[in-house]
Amino acid sequence: MIVCLRTVVVPQRVRTRYLEWIEEGQSVREAYGLLAEWVLEPSTTEGDTVVVTVWPSHEVFDAWIATPERDALTMSEVHQSVVYRPITRYDFIGGYTNLAALNEQNQITTTGEEKK
């Protein structure tokens, strides 16, 4: 498994649309093997926005990069309005994810109310 990190500059005027674009592309990315995608922002005003993606292997990621579907996503107006820095790949060598806790947390919205 590999994890890819990339810092991005998302203009404030497209921030909401950018997050929607990430969500809208989920099914096509997952069809090509994407396991997770997270957009992280610093908790303070200092620092960069970071996009983290998780893939089963370098080969699966490389195959995604070569698809016309990826090209179509990157040609979108939203994608073109964001500045992307180089991707750094990391090999996953250990650790864990508490999926039960993540699923439980996913049932609560950012306002603290439970999802219906």
Q: What pTM value is reported for the model?
A: 0.82
* Tens of pLDDT, residues 58-113: 999 999 999 888 877 777 888 888 999 999 999 999 999 888 887 777 665 444 45
* Tens of pLDDT, residues 16-48: 999 999 999 899 999 999 999 999 998 987 888
Domain ranges of the chain: 2-106
CA–centroid distance for 17 within its chain = 14
Say yes or no: domain 2-106 is CATH 3.30.70.100: yes
> In angstroms, rounded to a whole number, what is the distance separating the alpha carbons of residues 38 and 31?
17
